[in-house]
Amino acid sequence: MNKADKESTIKVYSGLLRDNGTDSSLGLGWSSKRTQETRFRVLTEIASLAGHSLLDGGCGVGDLYGYLRRREIAVDYCGLDVCPQMLTAARSKYPAAEFLPGELDASNLGRRFDYVLISGAFNWTISDNFGVARRGLRQAWEICRKGVACNFLSSREPYKVDYLYYFSPEDMKAYAESFAGEVTMRHDYKMNDFTLYLYKESEF
């Protein structure tokens, strides 16, 4: 992200967190716990995750870690987020998990993970959502050993608002297919959201 987009992302998400607290999905920009967890469910259906390492890109307060723990899916979890206030809240909410500062679309991690899961990181409107999302997806692909699952707000949403960015499912799938051999799109769980699964090796 450029400097202005990074500052605006941090301002928006730290403000949502301050106003709504760490236990409300509103603090993360989700309309309800149910919609947040529907997205977690679909992301985690990419494969059998137990026993694998997992990067939660744009982790917020780390609720994906809590979701996996409640389902007794043991993974080697690491959360990554650009917003320092989110990381402070995540460390306090889930002290046993690892959380790192960083940007999904910048090559700054120097580590690889079996799976990279990304929920909602590209939703808020910035100057270049399409570019940041494409670089983020590509970077996730570079650092994963097995696969990437990433969701996006869908341009099929009939009631759009300016502050959120809606991606064309067809364009994002075509972009993923330009470098990943096997790509599956899920657009079956919400009208306004879709998930791409990118696989390094066939799961079938």
Residues that bind ligand SAM (CB under 6 A): 1, 9, 13, 28-29, 36, 58-60, 63, 80-83, 86, 103-105, 119-121, 123, 132, 136
CB of 171 to ligand SAM, least distance (A): 19
**Considering beta carbons, is residue 52 or 134 the nearer one to ligand SAM?**
134
CB of 202 to ligand SAM, least distance (A): 27
Cβ neighbours of residue 111 under 8 Å, at least 6 residues apart? 78, 143
Q: If you ran DSSP here, which 8-state letter would residue 33 be given? A: H
| Most distant pair of Cα atoms in the chain: their distance | 45
CB of 57 to ligand SAM, least distance (A): 6
The answer to whether the beta carbons of residues 169 and 139 sit under 8 Å apart is no
**Considering beta carbons, is residue 7 or 76 the nearer one to ligand SAM?**
7
CB of 151 to ligand SAM, least distance (A): 9
Instruction: Report d(CA 6, CA 126) in Å as an integer.
Output: 9
Q: If you ran DSSP here, which 8-state letter would residue 47 be given? A: S
**Considering beta carbons, is residue 81 or 193 the nearer one to ligand SAM?**
81
**Considering beta carbons, is residue 71 or 181 the nearer one to ligand SAM?**
71
CB of 176 to ligand SAM, least distance (A): 17
Instruction: Report d(CA 130, CA 124) in Å as an integer.
Output: 11
**Considering beta carbons, is residue 9 or 154 the nearer one to ligand SAM?**
9
User: What is the full DSSP assignment across 77-137?
Assistant: EEEEES-HHHHHHHHHH-TTSEEEE--TTSS-----EEEEEE-STT-B--TTHHHHHHHHH
Kind plus residue range of the DSSP H or E element containing 64: helix 63-70
